[in-house]
């Protein structure tokens, strides 16, 4: 994981999104301990307080939970929460941008739907 200190997203958000991706990829599973703020700070060469803020964000979203004296662990519903959050936030924004651009270019709804279906078919074919 490479943190972009000059990026548009704050470092703590980049950390929380990276951990979310690790959970989605199965690298952290339900009830498994995740990196501590100090491990993250060392791995990413950042301040431990920044790492803690990223972890706290995930606790507040019920993706991680704390075990006093033991660390942070992946919550049972973490994967579902992350998927729902990303669908709601990320995909909705992307779709809104695509629809706005399609309108700007006078692309009809049916043309746009066809383009999306084609792209999804091609993407599924690549994964096979």
Cα 122 to Cα 28, 126, 128: the distances in Å are: 30, 6, 10
Rounded CA gap, 26 and 72, in Å? 16
pLDDT at 128: 53
In this prediction the pTM is 0.76
Q: List the Cα angle 80/27/20 in 5-degree steps.
A: 45
Structure tokens at 118: 């084609």
In Å, the largest CA–CA distance within the chain is 59
Tokens of 93: 């924004």
Per-residue model confidence as pLDDT tens for the chain (128 residues): 678 877 888 999 999 999 999 999 999 999 999 999 999 999 999 999 999 999 999 999 999 999 999 999 999 999 999 999 999 888 888 999 999 999 999 999 999 999 999 999 988 877 65
pLDDT at 48: 96
7: its two tokens: 């990026």
């Amino acid at each position: 994981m490479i943190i972009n200190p000059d990026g548009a997203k704050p470092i703590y958000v980049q950390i929380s999104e990276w951990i979310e991706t690790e959970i989605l990829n199965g690298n952290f599973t339900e009830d498994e301990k995740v990196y501590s703020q100090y491990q993250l700070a060392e791995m990413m060469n950042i301040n431990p307080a920044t790492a803690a803020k990223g972890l706290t964000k995930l606790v507040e979203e019920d993706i991680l939970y704390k075990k006093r004296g033991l660390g942070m662990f992946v919550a049972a519903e973490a994967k579902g929460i992350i998927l729902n959050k990303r669908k709601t936030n990320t995909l909705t924004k992307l779709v809104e941008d695509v629809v706005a651009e399609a309108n700007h270019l006078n692309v009809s709804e049916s043309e746009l739907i066809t383009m999306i279906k084609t792209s999804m078919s091609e993407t599924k074919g690549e994964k096979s």
